[in-house]
Amino acid sequence: MMATPVTAELAAREAAAIFPTYRRQPVAFVQGEGAWLVDAEGRRYLDFLSGISVTALGHAHPAVAEAVAEQARRLVHVSNLYYTEPQIALAERLKATLGWPDAWAFFCNSGAEANEAAIKLARLYGKARGEGKVNIVALEGGFHGRLLGALLLTGDPAKHAPFQPLGDWVRHVPYDDPDALHKAVDENTCAVWIEVVQGEGGVRVVPDEVLVAAREACDRVDALLVDDEVQTGLGRLGAWYGWQTTAVTPDVVCLAKALGNGLPIGAIVAHGEAAKAFGPGDHASTFGGGPVVCAAALKVLEVIAHEGLVARAATLGQALTARLAALGEGRPLVQGVRGRGLLQALVLSRPLAAVVTARALDEGLVVNAVASDALRLAPPLLIGEAELDEMAARLGRALDAVT
């Protein structure tokens, strides 16, 4: 896609004002509604990325917008030196969706911050049981954010290299090797970090055997199992949380992305002994859990529950798999499909995902190259059968153009 005059002008202004940390696609979006985006020229795009698994209720959801506006008219910020009811109500609601009546929550502003908070929680938990119990085992291919601690957890050496030294307190093991995980966990391990589906790792489903091994290893050495649900939580996999599609229960979950449907909010929720690790002064956030973002999150959870979107994601996930599998018929470029619920990847036989993504954008379809040979699709939970058909038609044309 060639940049339009409006986009080219914005690109020139950005180049003089913003660090070049992002590789932008040549389009400027100015409006959204439901599963659709509109660019500066008025062209409509079908959004099957949801801002990277963020806008689970689609763009400009009226109930969320009204909740934000109503709260903003009353109170925006007072800091965490004082009580605010929306934050407490949100913690109570998250406990209910998790089924953890003894849980406690901590609120922050992003997924990376949630993982950083969980690192501190895990270290305090470990040090209470032994001074050297501060190490963590994580999975290769995992992604947990770009702050320094979360970056070290992330199982991608290429992302570590520019910022070394990051420390040596994290050990990574293959995402599909339960024996390696068991061997890596010892008495100095305070936590094991997992994702049920590795979003940034290429939408790879972590085998159940690895998840079970992680739970067993944590129980063996009294460590915490921390589940990063930033991309997989809140209905996307066809359950409230990804771990609920498996045979294991974590001690801590990290949340963000869909929780605010686009507003910046993250959280960790811990239960059992893990919930007792934090005390006054151990962690804090000036903006974390502010009234406006908590009002948005409460409305997000209400809409998901009221409209049955968790079960819908499971059903529509099967339909999405069928559409993607059909795209492989007669197309050697398509190798297969992987993922779960409404977080899936179309796997290619050649490393042409970036090229297909660009051609899809030409067709008015938003997806992304999550790996050199994989396209990530994460549509809103409100997506319909007709929009699945439209996606398949547009992506099919993009695949044919590249072939």
Active-site positions?
A: 143, 228, 257
β pairing state of 224-228 and 197-198: unpaired
Please state, as a whole number, how many other Cβ atoms lie within 10 Å of the Cβ of residue 398. Answer: 23
* Residue 334, phi then psi, degrees to nearest 5: -95, 120
- From the number of C-beta atoms within 10 Å of its C-beta (0-12, 13-18, 19+), residue 18 rates as exposed
* Three-state secondary structure readout of the chain: CCCCHHHHHHHHHHHCCCCCCCCCCCCCEEEEEECEEEECCCCEEEECCHHHHCCCCCECCHHHHHHHHHHHHHCCCCCCCCCCHHHHHHHHHHHHHHCCCCCEEEEECCHHHHHHHHHHHHHHHHHCCCCCCCEEEEECCCCCCCCHHHHHHCCCHHHHHHHCCCCCCEEEECCCCHHHHHHHCCCCEEEEEECCEECCCCCEECCHHHHHHHHHHHHHHCCEEEEECCCCCCCCCCCCCHHHHCCCCCCEEEECHHHHECECCEEEEECHHHHHCCCCCCCCCCCCCCHHHHHHHHHHHHHHHHCCHHHHHHHHHHHHHHHHHHHCCCCCCEEEEEEECCEEEEEECCCCHHHHHHHHHHCCEECEEEECCEEEECCCCCCCHHHHHHHHHHHHHHHHHHC
Residues 181 and 175: their CA atoms lie apart, in Å, by 9
194 touches 206 (CB < 8 A)? yes
